[in-house]
Amino acid sequence: MKFRSFITAFIIAVSTVATAQDRRTQEPRPALTIRVDTDLVALDVTATDKNGNFVRDLREDEFQLLEDGKPRKIDFFAMTDESTLSRPLAVVFALDLSGSLKPEETVTLREAAKKFLELMKGESVFAVLAFNYKVKILQDFTDDGRRFERALDKIEGFEGSTRIYDGIDRAVVMLDRKAPRTRKNRPVRRVVVVISDGFDSASVIDRKELVRRATALGVTVYSITLPSYMFSATRSTERVITPLDATRVVSATGGRDFAADAADFTPVFKALAEEIRASYALAYYPEWRDGRFHELRVKTSRPGVQLRVNRTGFVAPNK
């Protein structure tokens, strides 16, 4: 299955999710509005039941935020609307050009990019980088579909070694240094979407440092594993564990891996679109000013609910 089919399926899936309506009766949730303050610590939380279904009706008083093991007051709380993207995003697409992505497969990506940005209604910004034996930024953050499309015309060099961790690290740095923190007084969710076969051969970044940096900055990493990965020795459809899995870069940041190993990839991209939308936003203002790392945990009092959180701590300002 070509990467072209992946992107087409993604656009269809996002369109489907964007027009879906929540059939359950819920109290209206106000938008998460904050004052612009770099001290704000925001967390994105995804809640699922034992069957992996999203739990969308948790109340603020059912969450408990712990800082260094001690309860902290949640200053801001909101549920991202399922039918309309009420939370702006800053997304970096990291594309593997070491052989997983073929030159002809970028055509539909270029055609679909503008439609995807239009679905975000101008509230979100996107960037794209490519990696093989080197990491190259093709487009810095923009909400202009034309600039995004032109950036994809720059893709070349579909060969060489793979620096997947270095690519993710560059994306995390971009999100920290260049992405907006708020848009219209709402916190921007930081996301990296890695499209790769999951195998690294040349990165220099320390994996533990990458995880620490991503979680400290509140970046969620999602991976879409291309079908060029190896299967197990039994020739079953079970995907072997890749180094990306083993280092827990995705799971530690509250993300998920989507294995593109089926005849129809539409469910994969629909799941990714729903995943990004079905999240709770928690935020608070810490009191620490010691420049140190402080541990964060989020718990829920509702039985049978599992939480995935995009960060395990934060580095306090030193002032």
For residue 23, being part of any structural domain is answered with no
Q: What's the confidence (pLDDT) of residue 257?
A: 87
**Of the candidates 195, 266, 187, 191, which has an alpha carbon nearest to the alpha carbon of residue 224?**
195
CATH number at residue 134: 3.40.50.410
Q: pLDDT at position 14, please?
A: 46
Per-residue pLDDT tens digits for 46-88: 999 999 899 999 999 999 999 999 999 999 898 865 555 557 8
State the pLDDT at residue 136.
92
pTM (two decimals): 0.80
As a whole number of angstroms, the distance between CA 260 and CA 196 comes to: 10
Domain span including residue 147: 3-17+85-200+221-231+261-275
Task: Evaluate whether 195 touches 96 at the Cβ level (below 8 Å).
Answer: yes
Beta-carbon contacts of 247 under 8 Å, excluding residues fewer than 6 positions away, are 165, 207, 210, 211
Which pLDDT score is estimated for 18?
Answer: 43
- 316 in any annotated domain: no
Residues whose CB falls within 8 Å of the CB of residue 98, separated by 6 or more in sequence, listed in order: 131, 132, 133, 158, 159, 160, 161, 162, 201
Counted domains in the chain: 1
Q: Which residues of the chain have pLDDT under 50?
A: 1-4, 6-31, 34-36, 112, 230, 232-234, 262-263
Q: What is the pLDDT of residue 150?
A: 80
Quick check: is 58 in a domain? no
* pLDDT 10s digits, 268-293: 666 677 777 788 989 999 999 999 99
The answer to the question of residue 102 being in a domain is: yes
Residue 90 tokens read as 């800053």
The enclosing H or E element of 105 equals: none
pLDDT value of residue 122: 59
* pLDDT at residue number 119: 57
Query: Is 185 within a domain?
Result: yes
Q: Is 117 contained in some domain?
A: yes
HEC string of 214-248? Answer: HHHCCEEEEEEECCCCCECCCCCCCECCCHHHHCC
Contact 27, 291 (CB under 8 A): no
Domain membership of residue 114 (yes or no) is: yes
**Predicted local distance difference test score (pLDDT) of residue 109:** 54
Is 141 part of any domain?
yes
Longest dimension (CA), the chain: 57
